[in-house]
Amino acid sequence: MTQVLADDRLNAAEHSPLLSTAVRDHARSLTGWVVVDSLVDGMAMGGTRMTSTVTEQEVCDLAAAMTVKLALVGLRIGGAKAGIVSVPEHREDVLRAFGRSVAPLLHGGVYLGCDQGTTHDDRDLFFVEAGFDVSRKPGITRMRDDWTDLWRHLKDITGYGVAEAALEALRLRADDQQRRVAIQGFGTVGRSVAKNLLAGGHKIVAVADVLGTVAAPDGLPVAELLEITDPAGTIDRARLPESVTALTGPEAWLDVDAEVLVLAAGGAAIREDNLDRLRADVVVEGGNLCCTSAAKKRLRAAGTVIIPDVVANVGGAGVTGCILTGLAPSDVPTEELVSWLFDWVGQQVRRNTRDVLAIAAKHPGDPIPELLATRRAEGAGV
Ligand SMILES: NC(=O)c1ccc[n+]([C@@H]2O[C@H](COP(=O)([O-])OP(=O)(O)OC[C@H]3O[C@@H](n4cnc5c(N)ncnc54)[C@H](O)[C@@H]3O)[C@@H](O)[C@H]2O)c1
């Protein structure tokens, strides 16, 4: 994983975070790290990843990616990330110990939310343990609902932004045909992408989960698939509708005839060793670092349109940043706030999609450094 995260756009060799700290409590089986990659106006934010394999380097790379993501959408807040090595048998103890350890950071302006392996309930648990109440943070958008309730309305926000990136890429090519879409990953992001691209008039012909790929060349019955998918994003193979075929073979989602491929599972889904199988000519990174740098270079050279993760999957981070920095409107009804946040994400993603593709059309290298320089010149981020 670490090798994949060391993307050249972050100038990994020259890059070092502002602060990287180990968080340990041996009595409670806690091993973790908090990395603050950058501060803007004394603030930083990022998610808390809890996996069995997380490393300090991975957390550093993810924190650097947060800096880029937040700057690209013009938010005045730096990037951070936390990692906790998961110990399933002591999960609650570990989270509580983590909350106590990171309390000074949370109170000092480093917001740590959820990421892979942590839920809103986990985040609430370590906030309580840290005595941290986000709604009391100075300068934050004042909400009528509490933080957790607001998130119930925003669970589809990242996938919405990812779908907007795909739609904008098609619009830019003056492509108004119904297109076939394959989606790797059918979790929170992948399911939302499927709903939004279907609503945008396109046909979802394949989706993949951890068990493999299911496909229907004439279009999957998305609503029925959603009903037989568990919250972790696994489709119940015993209840597949008749029109749906379970494909065999590893990474069968690559071989499906589709014009658009959305990657919404893990890192390094497309690599040099499998990119020759790719059929789609629009690839959207819905997850983080879904294509390796080397694969992206070769795909760009071959004329494939790639929307990078830091452009496409900013929804969740972006709305958190909008609220923490007070950019989102205060004291408005929740529906109005939610609608404002969806509109904002759509605008940011469409704008960055247009600009990143314009830069990519000028030269074959990674377009992100130039886009970042443009946004920084406009006064964004660090
Ligand atoms: N949820 C967010 O708001 C958000 C924001 C930014 C980035 N991301 C990143 O996007 C990715 C997806 O996030 P999510 O929240 O939907 O995760 P999730 O855990 O809800 O879903 C992951 C999906 O990927 C599938 N999957 C796992 N391994 C696979 C494989 N080898 N092949 C095909 N499918 C596989 C799982 O079965 C599941 O359907 C993650 O990398 C996450 O870090 C998520």
Cβ of 186 closer than 6 Å to ligand 1, yes or no, is: yes
What pLDDT was estimated at residue 307?
A: 97
Amino acid found at 168 = E
User: How far, in Å, CA of 267 to CA of 97, rounded?
Assistant: 29
**186 C-alpha to center of ligand 1: Å?**
7
- Do the beta carbons of residue 310 and residue 68 sit within 8 Å? yes
What pLDDT was estimated at residue 327?
A: 97
Cβ of 287 closer than 6 Å to ligand 1, yes or no, is: yes
User: In the chain, helix, strand, coil percent, each to 5?
Assistant: 45, 20, 35
Look up residue 225 and give its two tokens. 């698939």
User: What stretches of 131-204 show up as alpha helix (H) in DSSP?
Assistant: 147-153, 157-172, 188-199
**Spatial strand order in the sheet of 212-215:** 245-247, 212-215, 203-209, 180-184, 260-263, 282-285, 305-307
Look up residue 337 and give its two tokens. 């706030």
Where do the domains of the chain lie, and which CATH numbers do they carry? Answer: 15-132 (3.40.50.10860), 157-315+346-377 (3.40.50.720)
Q: Which of 189, 310, 341 should be mutated for ligand 1, with most atoms under 8 A from CB?
A: 189
Neighbours of 362 (CB within 10 A): 9
Tokens 């759509």 locate to 346
Residue owning the nearest CA to atom 32 of ligand 1: 210
CA angle, 117 then 121 then 124, to 5°:
110
Residue owning the nearest CA to atom 28 of ligand 1: 210
CA 55 to chain centre: 19
- What is the Cα gyration radius of the chain? 20
Q: What is the pTM of this model?
A: 0.93
Cβ of 158 closer than 6 Å to ligand 1, yes or no, is: yes
- Do the beta carbons of residue 25 and residue 51 sit within 8 Å? no
User: How far, in Å, CA of 382 to CA of 41, rounded?
Assistant: 9
Neighbours of 340 (CB within 10 A): 17
Query: How high is the mean pLDDT in each 10-residue block of the chain (382 residues)?
Result: 38 74 92 97 96 94 94 96 96 97 97 93 96 93 88 95 97 88 97 97 97 97 98 95 94 97 94 96 94 94 94 97 97 96 98 97 91 89 60
189 CA: nearest ligand 1 atom: 16
Region of 330 (left: φ > 0; alpha: ψ -120 to 50; beta: rest) is beta
